[in-house]
Structure 1
């Protein structure tokens, strides 16, 4: 073969990452022409990228001559090639390869400030923040005016909440080369440590540099609001909206559509009204009112009251303003003023029963119980179907000793709202006092079924009533209701427990060994990948197993975000007792010593089952993602752990949703053997069979993907499903994380062949069939993306996130089955603090997508041609 062609082929192999083949060809080239240095440089580089640093250095040294001048030229030539290649790898996010080369550059020439700087960038994007900061500091020592090193260091320190050091770096940037982004971040840092005057100055500087940067206006508004400078706060909030009205206009349009569909709610309506008022400030009182209403919800009461008072000055005949003001004063504890405002509201609008209810509650808190009773009765005359009014009337009648009347009202409450645990609670207390212990204990049982997390409160009530002689604690019904003690201590792992009990060969069955997810960084238009994706190139996952715990206990709290497996000697098994927040495998805060169960006083009453019970329940069992990746694979572990499913008498698992029923049926779990998690929050079984989670909650090994694909892609429906190559998964029928301007986004995507689908009502096997035929999937973050597990390798996935909540679970899935993963952040064009007013909980906030940015990422992913 021609030596030129061999060299070209070697370069192709090198660029493809096939370093073994490249090495062989470069060696051929060197044999054919020993004088051509280029081949030595790339031969050494190929060895370096294979991890053979010594071999690389030996090859490079073999070219070096003894003449100092020639040596300098050769080193410069080598460094130029290494620097070019390292930057290519860094820009294409081959971060480990870039890290290796920059490390070698520094070893050759430790005066290269740019190499330290870029090495810091490569390390930071892998989550190695301490090492990154060390590199940036070294680059600054070598080049004190390296602005970007200060800036990147400031960004990381700000993320780590080291605000003083972040401030020092940002100040240096502004000294060297002022820019609006740094001034803004500096303002955020000053805000975090309470230096509000400095923060205001920074945001004003931001606006001077970039008058169109709306977040700075929003933050200024927030700071003035905190200092009760309402006019200035509203001015800057209005400026933020008026400078960039797209979000406000889209939100109001979206709210109108939801209203027409009957899907709007009070929160969305209030948000839309505030945005509209800020955009059209001639209706000034509306700004004060709706902003005050939102601040009342977030308990910023002094500012809320000041705003509502201003609204009342401007609109004296609005009952809603006085009602809202009454709520704010009541929350603040100023009952006299609250009462005065409720009465003004009633005078203006005498047929709103909800105002009477709030008035009655405040009168009762003030101690004017007879007046409260009168007001509650007035409310019931207007609306005899309000269960809350009967409940509060019952409470007040109970407090003045009219127990028979109180009982009537609590029963009426339960007739209208059968799940009102507090009504059962109060009813049980009264019935005990009336010497009706069986009925009283029945009420306590109802409380425990509806709200088992009230175990400690139930215990305190029952003990108190028994001490007063109302309940006999020796009776069987009393004993059956008593909550139980929390664990005394913990075993860090289930294997530790098995070894300590000499059960490792009989009651502990390893199934899958430790594994790892090899990670490829996500693709994005942003200069740096989001902090939520910075886990390096690999993350280790623990192995999986099945354990049989004699007389073991299982507890799941009502919110399904805390769980525990407890041994017969009252010890927590740490590795199979997860809780939220979900942390990455090996995270120090995952240690069982930090489990929240140790902060509880009591656990709910224990249901003892003289049976073999398998635990399939996990966290958030009704969430499709957790169901598919955390719950169903535990059935596979039972099979792999040589557990005879037919011999298991009961399975503790949630099964009330359609996708749960469907999948359990397909996997052979009989409906007759199911114990529902909400009915059995705390059980003890003769044999508690506990398959571990596949690894750590929400972190899945590859075998889980293979298991799901095997189970759900073999169904007959696959062949009949319509083949749609480009899918947009809508969340319009869910309660959160919806795309606010979805109509606009769908219209844009239709131009490139996308079809919009809603998955919630589809059977799982149909969802699997639909996704297996897809070549491109775009969706906001949510359960529908769980189905990308059924896609073929190479399928492009574009996930859309709120900028304030980015969770990497679908990126992990994409890495496991080799999908081509991209992400796009939505925007808060109105600024962070206005958005936080609209959505205090970032995890569930709805998302505004910039159509231009979506078009850009479509082009970046090669989907616009």
Structure 2
């Protein structure tokens, strides 16, 4: 049973801290910044810089709807959210960090958020996830963790704060990084992946990793290996080489529909989500179904089924959300209409579409915040006729996706 009520979580953590203080290991708290150590100060770590930093420039995007309301909405956001949306106008300039792998001798990995520790239980800041406060929200100068379980051989670390719960971050920040292993030829014995969502194991097995080699990281799992292989993070924006790796890896599968002559028109709702749902969505779905669209709830499909679906897509329409991550698998020429609230002019899917040569447009609807919605979280009120006009324009002006040979 998952305990979601915060006071219950806090009590559980308090009890565990008392127990691990007697039976576990001490780790300097992240609140004590002077305790951090970086890679340059750590012995037993070998670094491999596989790719240099990359500077990408993406063109202006095609916007419609209530675009003039975006500046007012941005003023209501936090500084961090405003920084994330800073590139919403004009050309977008994205700086991708250099891709890096680190091999940590006798290191250990704690929890699904991805905290990498030296053999002396010192946290390695440059390699860690950023979700420390989720596990220990009231940490003092020292926190206590369980003693690690020994894992023989090399353990590939695929844990990260956002990626342990979100399909977009898992795919764009973690899965795309597996190209580094392919390029370098480095082998591993085990894979540490978050034990949170089924799409993680499914996507890894699609790339040929045996499920028996996947070690599922829970909230308090602690593993120590002969060597940890830790991949750097691409950041939130899709990396050109990473998207190419994802697309071509799935394209080369025996079950791939990338070269199929079949076409489908997709509408991707956010039925099971609490934010960015379209107001009166039923009216939009009925209108799109008259145009031959299929309404697909991706959370009911396996990753393989989602990839196949997007490989066959002629056009994809849907609100801004993780489901559009599957645009990474579309063929050139596929049309895309993203529907977003004016509170979230985020260009992730525009950049992804540009890398895959998709015909992309975004429609901004009025941000409607229900109780509990803050910041960029808002439902979307649309002008149905305007959205349908965008769809018709895409259908009439965009060439059919090319059937690509395998």
**Secondary structure at 1:775 match in 2:** strand
Change beyond 3 A, Cα 1:566–1:538: same
Aligned counterparts, 1:48-63, within 5 A: none
Corresponding position: 1:613 with 2:155: yes
2:128 to 577, 596, 601: 577
Question: What CA distance in whole angstroms lies between the structure 2 residues aligned with 1:787 and 1:842?
Answer: 25
TM-score (norm 1): 0.38
Aligned counterparts, 1:657-676, within 5 A: 657-676=197-216
1:775 to 292, 314, 323: 314
Change beyond 3 A, Cα 1:501–1:597: farther
Question: What CA distance in whole angstroms lies between the structure 2 residues aligned with 1:737 and 1:555?
Answer: 33
What is the match of residue 357 of structure 1?
none
CA RMSD of aligned residues (A): 3.7
1:553: how far off?
A: 3.3
What is the match of residue 388 of structure 2?
855
What is the match of residue 788 of structure 1?
327
1:672: how far off?
A: 2.6
2:248 to 692, 702, 710: 710
Corresponding position: 1:825 with 2:368: no
**Secondary structure at 1:804 match in 2:** coil
Higher relative contact order (CA 8 A, sep 6+): 2
Aligned counterparts, 1:633-782, within 5 A: 633-645=176-188, 648=189, 650-654=190-194, 657-678=197-218, 680-693=220-233, 695-696=234-235, 698-719=236-257, 723-782=262-321
Question: What CA distance in whole angstroms lies between the structure 2 residues aligned with 1:521 and 1:421?
Answer: 42
Question: What CA distance in whole angstroms lies between the structure 1 residues aligned with 2:272 and 2:260?
Answer: 22
Change beyond 3 A, Cα 1:606–1:721: farther
What is the match of residue 541 of structure 1?
96
TM-score (norm 2): 0.76
Question: What CA distance in whole angstroms lies between the structure 1 residues aligned with 2:230 and 2:54?
Answer: 20
**Secondary structure at 1:668 match in 2:** coil
1:810 to 349, 353, 362: 349
Corresponding position: 1:625 with 2:168: yes
1:453: how far off?
A: 9.5
What is the match of residue 401 of structure 2?
none
Change beyond 3 A, Cα 1:704–1:621: same
Contact 2:267 2:316 survives alignment (8 Å): yes
Contact 1:452 1:681 survives alignment (8 Å): no
Contact 1:662 1:764 survives alignment (8 Å): yes
Aligned counterparts, 1:6-25, within 5 A: none
Aligned counterparts, 1:199-214, within 5 A: none
Change beyond 3 A, Cα 1:864–1:577: same
Aligned counterparts, 1:440-459, within 5 A: 455=13, 458-459=16-17
1:604 to 140, 145, 151: 145
What is the match of residue 107 of structure 2?
552
Question: What CA distance in whole angstroms lies between the structure 1 residues aligned with 2:11 and 2:237?
Answer: 28
Question: What CA distance in whole angstroms lies between the structure 1 residues aligned with 2:179 and 2:194?
Answer: 17
1:728: how far off?
A: 1.5
Contact 2:88 2:347 survives alignment (8 Å): no
User: Over residues 242-281 of structure 1, what are the superposed CA-to-partner deviations in whole Å (9 max), with x where a residue is unaligned?
Assistant: xxxxxxxxxxxxxxxxxxxxxxxxxxxxxxxxxxxxxxxx
**Secondary structure at 1:704 match in 2:** helix
Contact 2:265 2:314 survives alignment (8 Å): yes
**Secondary structure at 1:705 match in 2:** helix
Corresponding position: 1:846 with 2:388: no
**Secondary structure at 2:194 match in 1:** coil
| Equivalenced residues, count | 371
Change beyond 3 A, Cα 1:537–1:633: closer
1:547: how far off?
A: 0.9
**Secondary structure at 1:854 match in 2:** helix
Q: Unmatched 5+ residue regions in structure 1? A: 1-417, 426-446, 463-476, 582-595, 829-834
**Secondary structure at 1:827 match in 2:** strand
Contact 2:151 2:223 survives alignment (8 Å): no
Change beyond 3 A, Cα 1:603–1:519: farther
Quick check: which one's helix share is greater?
A: 1
Aligned counterparts, 1:393-404, within 5 A: none
Query: Which structure has the bigger radius of gyration?
Result: 1
Aligned counterparts, 1:263-302, within 5 A: none
Change beyond 3 A, Cα 1:600–1:781: farther
